[in-house]
Structure 1
Amino acid sequence: MAFRLSNNLIGILNTITFLLSVPILGAGIWLAARADGTECERYFSAPIIAVGVFLMVVSIAGLIGACCRVTWLLWVYLLAMFVLIVVLFCFTVFAFVVTNKGAGEAVSGRGYKEYRLGDYNNWLQKRVENSKNWNRIRSCLQDSKVCKSLQDDKPTLQQFISSDLSPIQSGCCKPPTSCGFTYVGGTEWTKATTTNSTDTDCQTWTNDGLCYNCQSCKAGVVATLKRNWKRVGVVCIVFLVFIVIVYSIGCCAFRNNRKDNAYQSGWNGGRRGYA
Structure 2
Amino acid sequence: MALSNNLTAILNLIAFLCSVPIIASGIWLAAQPDNECIHLIRWPVVLLGLLVLVVSLTGFVGAYWYKETLLAFYLCCMAILIALLLILLVFAFVVTRPDGSYDVPGRGDREFRIQGFSPWLRSHIVNSKNWGAIRACLAETDVCSRLTSRYLSADQFFAGHISPLQVSSI
- TM-score scaled by length of structure 1: 0.58
Q: What is the deviation of 1:158?
A: 1.9
User: Is residue 17 of structure 1 aligned with residue 15 of structure 2?
Assistant: yes
Percent pairwise identity: 42
Query: In structure 2, do the counterparts of structure 1 residues 101 and 43 end up closer, same or farther at CA, with 3 Å as the change threshold?
Result: closer
Partner SS for 1:43: coil
User: Is residue 72 of structure 1 aligned with residue 52 of structure 2?
Assistant: no
Q: After TM superposition, list the pairs within 5 Å mapping 1:157-196 onto structure 2.
A: 157-173=154-170
- Give runs of ≥4 in structure 1 deviating > 6 Å: none
Mapped to 2, the partners of 1:91 and 1:7 lie a distance apart of 30
Mapped to 2, the partners of 1:110 and 1:55 lie a distance apart of 47
User: Is residue 143 of structure 1 aligned with residue 137 of structure 2?
Assistant: no
Query: Structure 2 counterpart of 1:8, which letter?
Result: N
Greater Rg over alpha carbons, structure = 1
Partner SS for 2:106: coil
Mapped to 2, the partners of 1:164 and 1:108 lie a distance apart of 13
Query: Structure 1 counterpart of 2:12, which letter?
Result: N
Mapped to 2, the partners of 1:171 and 1:39 lie a distance apart of 17
Q: What is the deviation of 1:74?
A: 1.7
Q: What is the deviation of 1:154?
A: 5.0
Residue 6 of structure 2 corresponds to 8
Structure 1 alignment gaps of length 5 or more = 174-275
Cα deviation 1:58-94 (Å, max 9, x = unaligned): 1111100110122222222111111112212222333
Q: After TM superposition, list the pairs within 5 Å mapping 1:1-275 onto structure 2.
A: 3-34=1-32, 36=33, 38-153=35-150, 155-173=152-170
Query: Structure 2 counterpart of 1:101, which letter?
Result: P
- TM-score scaled by length of structure 2: 0.90
Query: Structure 1 counterpart of 2:17, which letter?
Result: L
Q: Which has the higher contact order (CA 8 A, sep 6+)?
A: 1
The number of residues matched between the two structures is 170
Structure 2 alignment gaps of length 5 or more = none
Cα deviation 1:46-65 (Å, max 9, x = unaligned): 11111111111111111001
CA RMSD of aligned residues (A): 1.8
